[in-house]
Amino acid sequence: MTTPHLSADDLPMFTKLRMTAFGQSVIDIANDPACDGWTFSQKIYFALERETTARAERRTLKLLQASKSPNPGACIEEIHYLPDRNLTRELVSRLGSCQWIDEGTNLVLLGSSSVGKTYLALALITAACRTDRSALFYRLDDLANQLAVLEVSDPARLKLLTRLRQVDLLVLDDFLTTPIDTDTAAVVLNILAARDQVASTLVTSQFEPKDWYKSLGDAVIAESILNRIIGGAEIISLGGPNMRFLPQE
């Protein structure tokens, strides 16, 4: 009986089994003289490792696409550690491990415009997706506008609110930079209440929490939102130069 020799023509068979990376690796090994001395186990392990890596990369890409990150290429490896920035490698490494997300801890990034708050938030979204956690990014004013055009009974609104409540990491960028109406504030409070101590919310803002009241018309709702976000949160105040003039941030 003639033993068939694997070639590129056999790749569709592996693709049909959803094992494209495994199949490509097996074909490469079969046609590479340098691999002739490998044991059967070594060949299988190598191909399985390639398939596992490829699946993890596809999963990360899917989560990043679902996160609506405006910069899916943002990553903690590209963070700049400059004087007066109030960021250290140890701090970013700890945040990048995403244990705080598992613990349902909130994170508040404060600082003036262009100090890199949003980039850091997006880099942490990437870190979350790399470790198989779901994330969702919204500028608060964009979220308010989207909620305003969706009727209360619209299934799309219900689907959006459900995701906002349940996603592992919710990022609200430019939090209360501009005022939001009472109805939107009530919805935001409802979302934060559902996430309280269950899932993590990350907010970035140019204003100190004590100034958030100015963007909310209802004092009771304002106090409740403040408590939901700040209570037990880790607060980082960024400083330093304008990061928009640097290559990555």
The predicted pLDDT at position 34 comes to 80
Give me the domain span that covers residue 92: 68-245
CA-based angle 36:40:44, to the nearest 5? 105
Give pLDDT tens digits for 168-218: 999 999 998 888 888 888 999 999 999 998 999 999 999 888 888 877 877
Q: What is the CATH number of the domain that holds 76?
A: 3.40.50.300
Domain boundary among 66, 86, 102: 66
Residue 218: the pLDDT is 74
Picking from 17, 50, 66, the residue at the C-terminal end of a domain is 66
Query: What is the structure's pLDDT at 168?
Result: 97
What does the pLDDT read at residue 133? 97
Q: What is the pLDDT, as a whole number, of residue 143?
A: 93
Predicted structure pTM score? 0.80
**Domain final residue pick, 31, 66, 101:** 66
Question: pLDDT below 50 — which residues of the chain?
Answer: 1
- 58 and 135 both lie in a single domain: no
pLDDT of residue 148: 85
Cα–Cα nearest to 164, from 182, 181, 178, 150:
150
Q: Does residue 40 fall inside a structural domain?
A: yes
pLDDT of 242? 61
Do 108 and 199 share a domain, yes or no? yes
Same domain, 55 and 150: no
Question: How many structural domains comprise the chain?
Answer: 2
Give the per-residue pLDDT at 169.
Answer: 98
Q: What are phi and psi of 203, to 5 degrees?
A: -120, 145
Q: Are 212 and 84 in contact (CB under 8 A)?
A: no
Rounded Cα distance between 110 and 123, Å, is 16
3, part of any domain: no
The b-or-e profile of 46-65 (16+ CB within 10 A means b, else e) is bbeebbeebeeeeebeebbe
Q: Does 161 fall in a domain?
A: yes
One domain, residues 140 and 25: no
Scanning the structure block, which residue is given the tokens 């969702």? 136
